[in-house]
Amino acid sequence: MAKKELIPRQPMPEQAPEVRSKNFEEVPTGQSPETAIREAERCLQCKKPVCVDGCPVGVDIPGFISLVKEGKFTAAISKVWEKNGLPAVCGRVCPQELQCEGKCIVGKKNEPVAIGNLERFVADYERMNKKASLPEKAAPTGKKIAVVGSGPSGLTVAGDLILKGHEVTLFEAFHKPGGVLVYGIPEFRLPKEIVFSEVAGLEKLGVKLECNAVVGRTISLDELFEEGYDAIYIGVGAGLPRFLNIPGENLIGILSANEYLTRSNLMKAYRYPEYDTPVIKGKNVITLGAGNVAMDSARTALRLGAETSRIVYRRSRDEVPARAAEVHHAEEEGVEFFFLTNPTKFLGNEKGRLTGMEGLKMELGEPDDSGRRRPIPIEGSEFELECDLAIIAVGAGANPLLTQSTEGLKLNKWEYIEADEKTGKTSKKGVWAGGDIVTGSATVILAMGAGRQAADSIHDYLTIGW
């Protein structure tokens, strides 16, 4: 019997590296209906779909893929929406290789089904065609929920609870909604129009949006309860940039990744002077750290005209925390990597501007607390790198602005909020928390997963009790 011909994984078309490294347009350009259907045909429609186990929000993956296979794209997006309110975002930024696609049976012997690309395809198809009807809302319960922070977890909570019939208000400290999806992730990886369209969808369902509202300053949690909110979800993100604490770090030209990306993305400094906010455009740029945020920073620097964009990381390639796809994209575009390299000092001129960085070469020793081999400096390996912009992307801590102004909210030793792993309940009655302010810096989809759990628990509280 002739063996059924294997369909290869359909490649995602992309802008060529030498072109895209000079513009802010999205890098992958999206699949056509034909290639999407062909990709969907690769799915085995497993009886026990392990891919779904790998999804923090439990999307019915074989369900929506079989609809794609039949060309029923509108039905497919409705299927995804049942579990995920932000598919256009997740299709782009989820680490699928560690989640759904990492578990895909096809992936055992061949390349896994491109679940992320298909999710993105159906979401984009719907955004262009607007054929799907809004999900149905349950009868009004008369209960009011305040969601603090409009990043991925806050948006998930808002979307889930509005459908269950509650009134939901989203409070955002910035002047635009979306949190890290808007201030952090660059346009070339996640066009802002997509985020605003997802938020507009929530508003259509009845979610109220209050921007410029710094909860903890403009209004406190207790005042929200006094105003008649029955439950509060805190999803404010980590939001405190870590610095290296080495000499010269306050020179002009050294920015936290938060500042660099916020200027470029939220404030649109990449379109300066059409937009008024400037950002330092380095000729020789160094990014410290090797997570996804570091890749975003180094790639943004190239697009803003840098001649060299270098990633300096104190561990080796094996320990790089960024997604492989991001590292690959960065390398293709010309970002250089300096592994096992640790900065020790920044150098500046008489105007207080950055001119270079001193560092030491490292070697790997015994595993540390994180299980990764600890980098140890090699004596006498000092070196100097010229740079006029350094971006510090070594992670974030817990921003204390809200937590310190709130009584009765228990924090852990790193000042993140203590919340129940299954429900997101905090030590303060009627208050839930999730996402990076609980776990420390993680991913969009994990924050969404935490939002989903909390929304379920909030619904139980409002209908059954604490």
Partner 1 sequence: MFKIIAREEMAEGTVILNEIDAPLIARKAKPGQFVILKANETGERIPLTMADTNPEKGTLTVIYMVVGKSTALFRDLKVGEGYQDIIGPLGAATHLEKVGKVVCVGGGTGVAVLHPITRGLKEVGNDITCIIGSRTKDLLIMEDLMKAASHDLRVCTDDGSYGHHGFVTDVMKEVLEEGGVNLVVGIGPVPMMKAVCKITKEFNVKTVVSLNPIMVDGTGMCGGCRVTVGGKTRFACVDGPEFDGHEVDFDELMLRLQAYTEEEKKSYNEHCNLVKQ
CB within 8 Å of 218: residues ≥ 6 apart: 212
Candidates 191, 202, 237; CA nearest to 92 is 191
**x/- track of binding to partner 1 for residues 314-343 (CB under 8 A):** ------------------------------
Q: How far apart are CA 345 and CA 22, in angstroms?
A: 31
Residues near partner 1 (CB under 8 A), total: 40
Residue 262 makes contact with partner 1 by CB under 8 A: yes
Please enumerate in sequence order all residues whose Cβ is within 8 A of that of 152, keeping only pairs 6 or more positions apart, or say none.
86, 89, 179, 180, 181, 235, 435, 444, 445, 447, 448, 451
> Minimum CB separation from partner 1 for residue 246, in Å?
11
The site string for partner 1 over 223-242 (x = CB under 8 A, - otherwise) reads ----------------xxx-
List b or e across 411-442, with b for residues whose CB sees 16 or more CB atoms inside 10 angstroms. Answer: beeeebbebeeebbbbebebbbbbbbbbbebe
414 touches partner 1 (CB under 8 A): no
The amino acid sitting at 137 is K
Instruction: Choose between 115 and 280: whose C-beta lies nearer to partner 1.
Output: 280
Q: Which of 2, 4, 273, 371 binds partner 1 (CB under 8 A)?
A: 273
> Which of the stretches 48-56, 108-116, 217-225, 329-337 binds partner 1 when contact is defined by CB under 8 A?
217-225
Q: Is 173 in the site for partner 1 (CB under 8 A)?
A: yes
Q: Which is nearer to partner 1, 38 or 242 (CB)?
A: 242
**Is position 219 an interface residue for partner 1 (rule: CB under 8 A)?**
yes
Among 205, 401, 411, 442, binds partner 1 (CB under 8 A): 401
Of 249 and 358, CB closest to partner 1: 249
How near is the Cβ of 291 to partner 1 at its closest, in Å? 17
Give the end-to-end CA distance of the chain in Å, rounded to a whole number: 62
φ/ψ of residue 401, rounded to 5: -55, -45
By beta-carbon proximity to partner 1, the closer residue of 57 and 244 is 244
**Nearer CB in complex with partner 1: 150/256:** 256
Q: Is 268 in the site for partner 1 (CB under 8 A)?
A: yes
Task: Determine the interface stretch with partner 1 among 7-15, 60-68, 268-276, 406-414 (rule: CB under 8 A).
Answer: 268-276
Q: Which residues contact 278 (CB under 8 A, 6 or more apart)?
A: 263, 269, 272
Interacting residues with partner 1 between 35 and 94 (CB under 8 A): none
With binding defined as CB under 8 A, does residue 415 bind partner 1?
Answer: no
Position among 64, 121, 174, 313 found at the interface with partner 1 (CB under 8 A): 174
Under the criterion CB under 8 A, does residue 203 sit at the interface with partner 1?
Answer: no
352 is an interface residue for partner 1 by CB under 8 A = yes
Site for partner 1 (CB under 8 A): which residue of 23, 129, 218, 463? Answer: 218
> CB of residue 407 vs partner 1: minimum separation in angstroms?
17
Task: Please report how close the Cβ of residue 219 comes to partner 1 at its closest, in angstroms.
Answer: 7
Is residue 247 a contact point for partner 1 (CB under 8 A)?
A: no
Under the criterion CB under 8 A, does residue 33 sit at the interface with partner 1?
Answer: no
C-beta of residue 89 within 8 angstroms of C-beta of residue 96: no
255 binding partner 1? (CB under 8 A): yes
* Shortest separation between residue 175's beta carbon and partner 1, angstroms: 4
Q: Closer CB to partner 1, residue 77 or residue 304?
A: 304
What is the nearest approach in angstroms of partner 1 to the Cβ of residue 195? 16
Query: Please, which residue, 104 or 213, has the CB nearer to partner 1?
Result: 213
The residue from 105, 252, 347, 364 that contacts partner 1 (CB under 8 A) is: 252
- The residue ranges that bind partner 1 (CB under 8 A) are 173-175, 211-214, 217-219, 239-241, 243, 245, 249-250, 252-253, 255-256, 258-259, 262-263, 267-268, 272-278, 280, 351-352, 399-401
